[in-house]
Amino acid sequence: MSVELEMLVWVSTLTLFMWVPYILSAMVNDGLIASFKWQGDEKQRFIWAERAKRAHYNAIENLIPFAAIVIVAHLAEISNDATAAAATAYFWIRAIHYVFYTVGISYIRSPAFMLSWLAQICIVYQIISH
């Protein structure tokens, strides 16, 4: 398996587990049973849990184009040092983005988002210049 596909698997796995912190927060905040049903009158959530939820949504939104780009590169048999480095960087930067989004440090979160976007652009460039 190429590095790019491996990173796609890791990014997908990371995204699969991003819901856990904010659901655990709901269980602590609302109680186990109440957290499993929507009542429309939820208690006030912890601010960090709301940020974790938004970070998860952001990760899902960015996973779709990353997956498409990596799959196109794979099908076109485009895999080189640049695409491997960009895919690896994307994984680590998205992990950093999630952590700093959740803790509310925007001066790291925002550059991390931009760097993850640039990592995708790097792979796109390799595809279109091939």
Domains, the chain, ranges and CATH?
3-37+45-128 (1.20.120.550)
For residue range 74-114, what is the model confidence (pLDDT) as tens digits? Answer: 999 999 999 999 999 999 999 999 999 999 999 999 999 99
pLDDT tier, 41 (very low <50, low <70, confident <90, very high otherwise): low
Residue 75 burial (C-beta neighbours within 10 Å; 0-12, 13-18, 19+): exposed
Q: Is the pTM of this model over 0.85?
A: yes
pLDDT tier, 34 (very low <50, low <70, confident <90, very high otherwise): low
Q: Report pLDDT for 28.
A: 81
